[in-house]
């Protein structure tokens, strides 16, 4: 075995050992993270569900134990659960005297992808309670005790109100939650009243524990988890967020105005009114379940001033991610809707100022969203029509010049710099801008990216059918394989296939524009649409339908303009006339030509 072989085997061995070490470290990190999440989840479970030492479950609920675990609230440790309902045309909220909090929240105008009633909140994981410190270094979560319920009251403005009171065992000392559901609104007024408890609760921050679980609502679980996020807004109006798949913990040390637990098309948001939350700590978890998208456990700090009578007003939003509805709340909650991010963050203004207003206007004319998307596509093409026309004119000029370019390419076959100089001279003498076809395409890019953000996040398209697509907000599968093909998926999306075919037709139609001597330039227009096939196969049908329509319109327009509008003979005559004129070089062209000559001389 020679020296190089030994070195090779040593390097391979080192790589193998490094990989095993890295894999073990990753596994250990994952185990520690899972243990952390499970520990936090266990602490925030109802008291009867928390893990206890062996034998502890057999202890009787005697007065000593009740006092140790519940302090002066021991009388509220046991009781009979009672439920009350606040309901309007949009939402039905069932409250329980156990914890004095919402037990279930149902959106009345929406269904799951399976046609079942859509609950934004149900199950014991969902809790909203204050953490009250007890003298024995324990903590009481008010979600574990029974409140005294009030009667449902209907106000003159159509809102409904209910209150829950937790007595401290002393006259005039109590904790009270009040809820008011506004008429025809997804908003619930939620106020915490602390009365006469300044000797029980120390002055400072009181922890409000809010746990929420996102259950599966849509057809595509993968997309739901990609869109399962926690958004928050600080008191200085700064907005930020993170996705549960990418992060599991976030500590917010600055005052917070609101925290939103966002699903793909719905959200639950806690908004502080008058006074902000002092801080927040957010922990999240993605359970190994096919029916749970994600869970969040947020601790919000309420700044208690120690007064004998203290109130902390809040609002809870249970509803859809509808842009107009969220914007009307005037707290920038509409920012949770992904209309553009990253390097393309600027396209959110295209969506806000152009796409959404036009989409809403068209929606007021018809309820057929297939037709709405068609009209929207035509509208957008009318906006970019001047750029499109200039692009086609530039393409026609390049087509006329193609024979001369081919001659130059054959003449300077082995000298690309010389060919470039002569090519620039030809373009300059003919009055042709080689970027004439590129700039219009670049100007259309923001529209294309805006659509990429808008359609998958538009709740108006949710469960709206068109042709064979049962739901325009998800992919339009016409056949499921029963297995997954790498880089493609487990189904066939027909709109994606049609989009790809029309893209290839456009590429074939414009084949004369590409440099046939360059294999990359020659074949990329055909390869690129096929590469995108797997990416768009799982995209919203509305998006691929739009791209398909845009391609069809481009094919028809390009054929019509070049057939009936653009006169190639006149263009050729005009180019020849331009050649006869004295050539005037721009400073940029002079510098470029000088650089090319200098490089040629150096060779």
Q: What are the backbone angles phi and psi of residue 456, rounded to the nearest 5°? A: -65, -20
**H-helix or E-strand containing 167?**
strand 160-167
pLDDT at 568 over 90: no
- Output the six-digit token pair for 57: 């479950």
Average pLDDT, the chain: 83
3-state secondary structure of 401: helix
- Output the six-digit token pair for 466: 């068109």
pLDDT at 472 over 50: yes
Instruction: Please give the average per-residue pLDDT across 216-239, as a whole number.
Output: 94
pLDDT at 588 over 60: no
3-state secondary structure of 532: helix
In sequence order, what DSSP letters do the residues of 174-198 get, joined into one string? Answer: EEEEEEEEPTT-SEEEEEEEEES-T
d(CA 139, CA 307) in angstroms, rounded, equals: 21
- Find which of 2-11, 20-29, 410-419 is predicted with most confidence, using mean pLDDT: 410-419
Instruction: Please give the average per-residue pLDDT across 554-577, as a whole number.
Output: 73
Residue 199 CB partners (closer than 8 Å, separation 6+): none
- Say if CB 270 and CB 250 are below 8 A apart: no
Query: What crossing angle do the helices spanning 438-457 and 541-560 adopt, rounded to 10°?
Result: 150
User: Which of these, 149, 145, 338, 167, lies nearest to 241 by C-alpha position?
Assistant: 338
d(CA 192, CA 201) in angstroms, rounded, equals: 14
User: Which of these, 309, 318, 233, 307, lies nearest to 276 by C-alpha position?
Assistant: 233
Among the residue ranges 34-48, 141-155, 176-190, the one predicted with the least confidence is: 34-48
Instruction: Please give the average per-residue pLDDT across 376-390, as a whole number.
Output: 85
- Note the pLDDT tens digit of each residue in 255-293: 999 999 999 999 999 999 999 999 999 999 999 888 999
CA distances in angstroms from 143 to 128, 243, 295, 436, listed in the order given: 7, 27, 18, 66
pLDDT at 61 over 70: no
The reported pLDDT for the residue numbered 58 is 41
- Find which of 53-67, 83-97, 132-146, 549-563 is predicted with most confidence, using mean pLDDT: 83-97
Burial per residue of 331-361, b for 16 or more beta-carbon CB atoms within 10 angstroms, e otherwise:
bebbbbbbbbeeebeebbebbbebbbebbee
d(CA 103, CA 97) in angstroms, rounded, equals: 9
d(CA 511, CA 250) in angstroms, rounded, equals: 52
Instruction: Please give the average per-residue pLDDT across 165-182, as a whole number.
Output: 91
Whole-angstrom Cα Rg for the chain: 32
| DSSP conformational letter for 352 | I
Q: What's 38-89 look like in SS3?
A: HHHHHHCCCHHHCCCCCCHHHCCCCHHHHHHHHHHHHHHCCCCCCEEEEECC
Residue 324 CB partners (closer than 8 Å, separation 6+): 360
The reported pLDDT for the residue numbered 519 is 57
The overall pTM is greater than 0.85:
no
Give the whole-number percent of the chain exceeding pLDDT 70: 78
User: Which of these, 464, 458, 492, lies nearest to 476 by C-alpha position?
Assistant: 492
The reported pLDDT for the residue numbered 57 is 44
How far is Cα of residue 407 from the mean position of the Cα atoms in its chain? 52
Among the residue ranges 260-269, 363-372, 410-419, 553-562, the one predicted with the least confidence is: 410-419
3-state helix, strand, coil split of the chain in percent (to 5) is 45, 25, 30
| pLDDT greater at residue 332 or residue 4 | 332
Instruction: Please give the average per-residue pLDDT across 126-136, as a whole number.
Output: 89
Query: What crossing angle do the helices spanning 541-560 and 519-536 adopt, rounded to 10°?
Result: 140
Q: What's 498-521 look like in SS3?
A: HHHHHHHHHHHHCHHHCCCCCHHH
pLDDT at 70 over 80: no
| pLDDT greater at residue 283 or residue 581 | 283
The reported pLDDT for the residue numbered 55 is 47
pLDDT at 404 over 70: yes
- The residues facing 146 across adjacent strands are 98
pLDDT at 576 over 90: no
- Output the six-digit token pair for 106: 């149902």
pLDDT at 64 over 80: no
Residue 81 binned pLDDT confidence (cut-offs 50, 70, 90): very high
Q: What number of other Cβ atoms are within 10 A of residue 597's Cβ?
A: 13
| pLDDT greater at residue 158 or residue 516 | 158
d(CA 586, CA 588) in angstroms, rounded, equals: 5
């Amino acid at each position: 075995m020679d020296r190089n072989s030994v070195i090779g085997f040593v390097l391979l061995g080192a790589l193998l050992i490094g990989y095993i070490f890295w894999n073990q470290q990753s596994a250990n990190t994952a185990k520690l993270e899972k243990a952390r999440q499970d520990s936090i989840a266990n602490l925030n479970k109802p008291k009867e569900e928390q893990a206890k030492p062996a034998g502890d479950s057999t202890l009787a609920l005697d007065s000593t134990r009740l006092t140790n675990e519940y302090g002066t609230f021991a009388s509220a440790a046991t009781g009979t659960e009672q439920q009350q309902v606040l309901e309007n045309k949009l939402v039905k909220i069932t409250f329980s005297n156990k914890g004095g909090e919402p037990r279930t929240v149902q959106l009345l105008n929406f269904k799951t992808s399976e046609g079942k009633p859509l609950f934004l909140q149900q199950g014991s994981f969902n809790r909203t309670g204050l953490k009250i410190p007890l003298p024995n270094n324990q903590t009481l979560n008010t979600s574990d005790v029974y409140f005294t319920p009030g009667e449902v009251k209907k106000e003159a403005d159509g809102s409904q109100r209910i209150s829950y009171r937790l007595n401290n065992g002393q006259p005039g000392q109590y904790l009270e939650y009040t809820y008011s559901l506004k008429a025809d609104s997804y908003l619930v007024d939620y106020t915490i009243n602390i009365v006469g408890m300044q000797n029980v609760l120390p002055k400072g921050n009181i922890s409000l524990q809010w746990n929420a679980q996102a259950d599966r609502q849509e057809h595509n679980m993968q997309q739901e988890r990609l869109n399962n996020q926690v958004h928050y807004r600080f008191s200085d109006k700064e907005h930020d967020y993170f996705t549960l798949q990418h992060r599991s913990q976030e500590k917010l040390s600055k005052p917070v105005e609101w925290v939103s637990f966002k699903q793909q098309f719905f959200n639950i948001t806690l908004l502080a009114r008058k006074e902000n939350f002092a801080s927040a700590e957010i922990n999240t978890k993605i359970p190994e379940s096919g029916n749970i998208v994600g869970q969040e456990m947020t601790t919000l700090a309420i700044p208690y001033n120690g007064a004998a009578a203290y109130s902390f007003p809040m609002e809870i939003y249970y509803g859809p991610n509808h842009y107009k509805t969220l914007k009307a709340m005037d707290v920038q909650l509409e920012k949770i809707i992904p209309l553009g991010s990253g390097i393309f963050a600027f396209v959110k203004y295209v969506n806000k100022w152009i796409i959404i207003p036009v989409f809403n206007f068209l929606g007021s004319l018809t309820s057929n969203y297939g037709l709405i998307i068609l009209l929207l596509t035509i509208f957008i093409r009318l906006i970019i029509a001047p750029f499109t026309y200039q692009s086609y004119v530039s393409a026609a000029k390049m087509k006329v010049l193609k024979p001369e370019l081919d001659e130059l390419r054959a003449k300077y076959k082995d000298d690309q710099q010389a060919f470039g100089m002569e090519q620039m001279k030809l373009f300059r003498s003919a009055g042709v801008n080689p970027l004439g076809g590129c700039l219009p395409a670049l100007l259309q890019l923001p529209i294309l990216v805006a659509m990429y953000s808008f359609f998958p996040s538009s709740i108006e398209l949710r469960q709206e059918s068109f042709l064979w697509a049962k739901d325009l907000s998800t992919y339009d599968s016409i056949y499921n394989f029963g297995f997954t093909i790498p880089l493609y998926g487990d189904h066939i999306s027909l709109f994606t296939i049609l989009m790809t075919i029309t893209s290839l037709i456009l590429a074939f139609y414009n084949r004369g524009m590409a440099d046939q001597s360059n294999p990359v330039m020659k074949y990329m227009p055909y390869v690129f649409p096929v590469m995108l096939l797997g990416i768009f196969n799982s995209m919203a049908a509305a998006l691929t339908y739009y791209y398909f329509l845009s391609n069809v319109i481009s094919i028809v327009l390009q054929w019509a303009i070049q057939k009936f509008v653009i006169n190639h003979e006149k263009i050729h005559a005009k180019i020849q006339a331009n050649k006869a004129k004295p050539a005037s070089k721009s400073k940029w062209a002079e510098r470029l030509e000088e650089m090319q000559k200098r490089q040629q001389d150096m060779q």
